[in-house]
A and B are shown apart, each in its own frame.
Chain A
Amino acid sequence: MPLKVFIAVCMLSGISLSAQDMGIASASIEAQATVVPSIGFTSDSDSPSHADFLVWGRKSSNLQVSIVKSTGGVSEEEPVFLASLFVPYATFSDPRVRREISHLQADGSSAVVVTVVDIAD
């Protein structure tokens, strides 16, 4: 007898679930976004031949560029200057950056670190 009761309960449960499934349904989609970093360099800028580099960011953004050069373990920070990015992807070729990079020593004893920050309008 207990077995019959158990079977009956299972059958009722099955009916209930089936009825519920028929009146409700759900489905998911995904919200997707790709964040593009506000600044980027296409190539290693440790060679004078790569003084130009690609910058990406928002169109018409204003950039704050800082240059830190180091030679023989001594770091020297150049005055910060501003630049503009007129298109989302642009070749960035500022004479000040080019000048510093051109001073790099081929033996690796010097380095230039360029930092570009998208600043508010």
Chain B
Amino acid sequence: MPRIILSGVLAAAMLVSSFTPVCAQESASIQALATVVSSITIRGTNNLNFQSVTPGIPKFVDKAMVGFAGEWQVTGIASSEVTLSFELPTELTDQVSGGVMSISFSGSDASYDDGSGGGQTAPAGVVDPNGPSTANIGSGGTLDIWIGGTVQPSVSQTGGSYGADITLTVAYTGS
């Protein structure tokens, strides 16, 4: 009986000795990378001004009409792609009388220039303001955008000053 116990003890000791801790370990690291883009800014620099309109007579302002077409200036990362999203009104409102007047924008009523074109009168490209579109910020880090439109005063349009906001949102696409 003692011999059996001794044999068991020895066997256990051998078994334990076979599990010698492994001292050689390897490790590797990876990096979590992220590029924080610099801020993009936009500012409206000119209102879309139809000036005086006559009841019953539609009036069109072209996007190339300097000083009358709406204008924004965007600054951001050079050569990066951005989306252009317009929020367009369907009518202008006279705050005094409460009257409204229809306004519309065609598929070629907006344009942009990234510095590769000739400015407002000869822009680099034309975009449809009715849907999201993309453009690239120029190599100089700027992008100019213009918009025209048409107002349709009714024959019984009440006289007064009409207005509505046009909002342009720009965002990096990552491209």
Contact = CB atoms under 8 A, between A and B. Distances in A.
Given A21-B39, A22-B36, A58-B57, A35 B172 contact: no
Given A22-B37, A31-B47, A37 B159 contact: yes
B20 to A, nearest CB: 42
A85 to B, nearest CB: 11
Interface string A8-41: 0000000000010111111111111111111000
Interface SS of chain B: helix, strand, loop or mixed?
A: strand
B170 A31 contact: no
Interface residues of A, number: 23
Interface string B40-68: 11111111111111111101000000000
Given A35-B158, A35-B159, A118-B55, A28 B39 contact: no
Contacts, number: 133
Nearest to B173: A23
Given A29-B165, A33-B92, A118 B53 contact: no
Contacts of A37: 55, 158-159
Interface SS of chain A: helix, strand, loop or mixed?
A: strand
A38 B122 CA distance: 36
Contacts of B54: 35-36, 38, 57-58, 88, 118
Nearest to B69: A29
B55 A31 contact: no
Contacts of B175: none
12 contacts: A23-B37, A23-B171, A25-B40, A26-B167, A29-B166, A31-B151, A31-B164, A31-B165, A33-B50, A33-B53, A34-B161, A35-B101
